[in-house]
Amino acid sequence: MPVTTYVDAIREAMIEEMRRDPRVFLIGEDVGSYGGAFKTSAGMIDEFGPGRVIDTPISEVAIVGAASGAALMGMRPIAEMQFIDFITCAYDMLVNFTATSRYRVGSSCPIVVRGPAGGGTHGGPFHSLNPEAMFMNRPGIKIVAPGTAYDAKGLLKAAIRDDDPVLFIEHKFLYRRIKEDLPSEDYVVPIGKANVRRTGKDITIITWGAMIYVADDAAADLANDGVSAEVIDLRSIIPFDEEAILNSVAKTNRVIILHEAPLTGGAGAEFAARIAEKAFDYLDAPVKRVAALDVPTPYSPPLEAAALPDKARVLAAARELLRY
């Protein structure tokens, strides 16, 4: 099995799905001859041509609108946001039109909106967004956030084949840092199914995206202190694997929810509420959230590092819960 980077896993998924299904096409800014800002579509126009790898003006609402219209006519578009931050320009189209299509008129709208998210690359406040929470409260959109190359490929394939809109959040910090041996045969990762990366009995760390590696590092340090931490990679934010969450909390009785987006109103609040509602009797300590500060992501590398969650904060939270 060849070693594949996270970014190439995304590219492979698009290529394989476009070969498999002539209804699949890619649309976005600079996705054609330039190959995408991060080269996620490098070389694809040579194979599929400008009719299926479509360059657009700088207008995210036009990209999502055109893709949604094509989806309603039977196509399966992949709409790329050059940076996921600018999905906000298409928010109205996504939440008021695309997401509500099945409810309003009974027609599926199988569009995938994907793009680079997250910090750690000194992109500043315009290029570091983690947008999952702003879409969680809008029914009709599924949200996935892979943290591994295997999941990036398998979840993107699943998203393209899904009959409803999917927001595919890919973390740009992982693009060329994460490499894996991927199967040569076709596979999908089911949307809505978490992955238990590490089993444990003393505390649960629930996370997704690039934060799975922060959780892994913290769990390794806790193991040196004799603490057994379970790490759950949700992979899917909506729908999420409630069963995996509740089963883990029932086993460990303590839980940290770790995410890169700011704390207040973040996705972790929903998971904390579900745990409080459905697993309160199992808790031996309050649910603890570890997240970014409630500030725009700084451009300055030291300030960015200070704003984003890290291993030290996870360890401090874990030790606080263990002392409770």
What does the block give as tokens for 48?
A: 């599929």
Planar angle of CA 115, 117, 122, nearest 5 degrees: 130
Please count the residues of the chain: 324
Q: Cβ distance 131 to 143 under 8 Å? A: no
Alpha carbons within 13 angstroms on the beta-carbon side of residue 258 total 34
Catalytic position from the list 122, 127, 171, 259: 127
Give the CA distances from residue 64 to residues 9, 58, 93, 238, 320, in Å, rounded to whole numbers and listed in that order.
23, 12, 7, 20, 45
Q: Where are the alpha helices (DSSP H) in 168-241?
A: 211-224
Q: Is 127 a catalytic residue?
A: yes
Closest C-alpha among 206, 234, 231, 207 to residue 220 = 231
What does the block give as tokens for 265?
A: 């109103």
Task: Find where tokens 């041996």 sit.
Answer: 181
Q: What share of the chain is helix, strand, coil (3-state, %, to 5)?
A: 40, 20, 40
- Measured CA to CA, the distance from residue 54 to residue 127 in angstroms comes to 23
What does the block give as tokens for 226?
A: 């004799």
What is the 8-class DSSP label of residue 296? P
Q: CB under 8 Å to 118, separation ≥6 — which residues?
A: 128, 129, 130, 171, 172, 173, 209, 210, 260
Task: Find where tokens 């931490």 sit.
Answer: 229
The gap from C-alpha 140 to its chain's centroid, in whole angstroms, comes to 17
Closest C-alpha among 109, 222, 243, 253 to residue 167 = 109
Catalytically annotated residues = 127
